[in-house]
Structure 1
Amino acid sequence: MSLATLPKIELHLHLEGAAPPAFIRGLAAEKGIDLRDIFTEDGGYAYRDFTHFLSVYEAATSVLTGPDDFARLTTAVLAESAAHGVIYTEAFLSPDFCGGGDLGAWREYLAAIREAADRAEASDGIVMRGIVTPIRHFGPERAKPIALCAAETAGEFITGFGIGGDEMAGKLKDFAWSFDMAREAGLRITAHAGEWGGAGSVWDAINDLGVERVGHGVQAIEDPALVDHLAETGVVLECCPGSNVVLGVFPSWESHPIEKLRTRGVRVTVSTDDPPFFRTTMSYEYGRLADTFGWDEEIFAQLTRTALEAAFCDEATRETLAKKLEPSI
């Protein structure tokens, strides 16, 4: 089994967070912006903890100042994903970073991103869809124009709505207005929870926002009743083990609960989150899961089948992807 070439579906990828460090350094140099403090000596991203990670993330994003920058970013990110066997990816996109929440500007940024995604699909066979996300620590009022951007551009490419940022900031129920707007526009719903906020935050995502997927969600393991509920209802967890280990949510791969959740009947998937920040790829995630938990080709096929079923895409796209996956699933 070649884990690098095995066809993969990724459901939890932050577009800006997937920016290769060399790409950000090059863009900063073009614009005369000094970002030396956010890189390590060997060229990776440098941060101390999750809060500092968010600051470094936003600093790196600051050099992305126009639609062309995001088109170039999309090209770089999708090429890297495709090199690791990803045939379909859902990327979190934030109008906060693409025009400051202005609808007209967002449309321009989105057009550039989509054109780059179309070129990547034609050249590398990788399909991309977008999930619009307000930034939680920016607050619920700031999320409302982001929800409007999502609702006004919902369709074949923008298919979901979620929320990222600092999971400990505010309450998910305060964002219900924005999620209701997105849902009414036909967008599918996910939310980051259960990475830092404990099992209770997963309950909040389910009860207050009506999610069908949870970003991370791995702290659900703390509450057996929640694990049972997830298994019974089929709510999907967008697990990012490498991210969790690097950030210290769990101290090691061996202690990560993804296998316990899977064997309890919870529908889990695997993604990279912000891959260069965590020095990971989808190939690396698969390799570590195989080494740590003994996952074989059959388990990875089950994982891919779950991701395909949970993808926020139309049925025609799902059928096309299923053909690409045969006989791997």
Structure 2
Amino acid sequence: MSVMDLPKVELHLHHEGAAPPAFIRQLAFEKKVDLSRIIADDGSYAFENFVHFLQVYEAATSVLQSPEDFARLTRAILEQSAEQGVVYCESFLSPDFCGGGDVAAWREYLQAIQETALKAEADLGIILRGIVTPVRHFGPEQAKRTALCAAETAGDWIVGLGMGGDEGQGHQGDFAYAFDMAREAGLRLTTHAGEFGGPDSVWEAIRDLNVERIGHGVRAIEDSKLIEELVARQITLEVCPGSNVVLGLYPSLGEHPIARLRDAGVRVTVSTDDPPFFHTTMRREYDMLSQTFGWDESDFRALNQTAAEAAFCDTATKERVMKLLETS
């Protein structure tokens, strides 16, 4: 079996960031919104750097204006993920884009997303769970509203709280109140760190937010003490190699530290982040990692085992995922 054909677990996927450009263009056409400035001649998203990427991301998201829009988006995402062999996925969902952080509006959006996900599970065999996500550059006060949305809808489907956005804005500890609120509601915790923020941001995430997973986290390779801490705490990194290369964090996949982190005993997983923005898929990630580092089927099965163990879903769902990983 080709490594690309293996069943896969993906832990780091931004819901809006997974929107196919053609889907966003169609919505823009229906709503008479001009998004030509964010679309390249070949139909892909056009951005120049990380900050510009965030601006393009939010512009694309602007045409997602109703629960029905998000239901359609959810189906499109799950169809393409299932085609990639993904059997379980955790997606970052932001109430900021689903009702502006209002709990009542968020419930309506969430119901539409969850109903679509459950139908796709029956049709396509892919399991989706949601991680509510404050947007860091929207600030700590808005993050509290987002965390309230998470706490009010915590359960079998909303399984965690994470944080995305511009790592250059503030510090992880500025958001401790929001993370404490989510923790008290029984949610599991992750946050973006160690991407553009460097190893110090990972230390902050561990010390100030007490998270059990880190989104990206790859710059931990720059600090041997931090690597020791990650191993000791068994903190899992949600690594997105293709994203890191496209955004210029590393000049090539060969210089990406995922293999060195894994060899050092750090728990690493593989995800796509915002796949259409970065011209990637889960199959492509697996293929490129195999070609670059010589990883074979046993390596990728071990990665998926790690991902399944680190998933935020309940025990019964996790057991189902483990069985799906063993089916081929």
SS of the residue aligned with 2:65?
coil
* SS of match in other structure, 1:254: helix
Task: Tell me by how many angstroms 1:262 deviates.
Answer: 0.2
Compute the displacement of 1:165 (Å).
0.4
1:181-260 matches, within 5 Å, as 181-260=181-260
Question: After superposition, what is the alpha-carbon deviation per residue over 1:65-116, rounded to whole angstroms, capped at 9, x for unaligned?
Answer: 0000000000000100000000000000000000000000000000000011
The answer for the alignment partner of 1:54 in structure 2 is 54
Superposed displacement of residue 317, structure 1: 0.4
What fraction of aligned residue pairs are identical, expressed as a percent?
Answer: 66
TM-superposed CA distance for 1:327, in Å, is: 5.4
Correspondence for 2:101: 101
Instruction: Name the aligned partner's letter for residue 130 of structure 1.
Output: G
Whole-Å separation in 2 of the counterparts to 1:34 and 1:178: 35
User: Who is 1:111 aligned against?
Assistant: 111
Give secondary structure in 2 for the equivalent of 1:302. helix
Residue 321 of structure 1 and its aligned partner are, at CA, apart by 1.1
In the comparison of the two structures, how many residue pairs are matched?
Answer: 328
Partner of 1:24 in structure 2? 24
Q: Counterparts of 1:69-88 in structure 2 under 5 Å?
A: 69-88=69-88
Aligned partners of 1:46, 1:232: CA distance in 2, in Å? 41
What amino acid is the match of 1:312? F
Q: Is the 8 A contact 2:2 2:297 kept in 1?
A: no
Give the partner amino acid of 1:156.
D
SS of structure 1 residue aligned to 2:149: helix
Q: CA RMSD in A?
A: 0.7
Question: What amino acid maps onto 1:286 in structure 2?
Answer: Y
Distance 1:265 1:327, change over 3 A: farther
SS across alignment from 2:4: coil
- State the secondary structure of the residue aligned to 1:101: coil
The Cα shift of 1:2 comes to 2.1
Letter in 2 for 1:213: R
Separation in structure 1 between the aligned mates of residue 65 and residue 84 of structure 2, nearest angstrom: 28
Gaps of 5+ in 1: none
TM-score (normalised: structure 2):
0.99
Q: Which amino acid aligns with 2:98?
A: C
| 1:134 matched residue in structure 2 | 134
Q: Counterparts of 2:251 and 2:174 in 1: how far apart (Å)?
A: 32
CA distance in 2, matches of 1:98, 1:125: 26
Give the secondary-structure state (helix, strand or coil) at the position aligned to 2:166: coil
The aligned residue for residue 120 of structure 1 is 120
What residue is the counterpart of 1:89 in the other structure?
89
Check conservation: 2:3, 2:296, Cα contact below 8 A: no
1:304 aligns with 2:323: no
- Counterpart of 2:283? 283
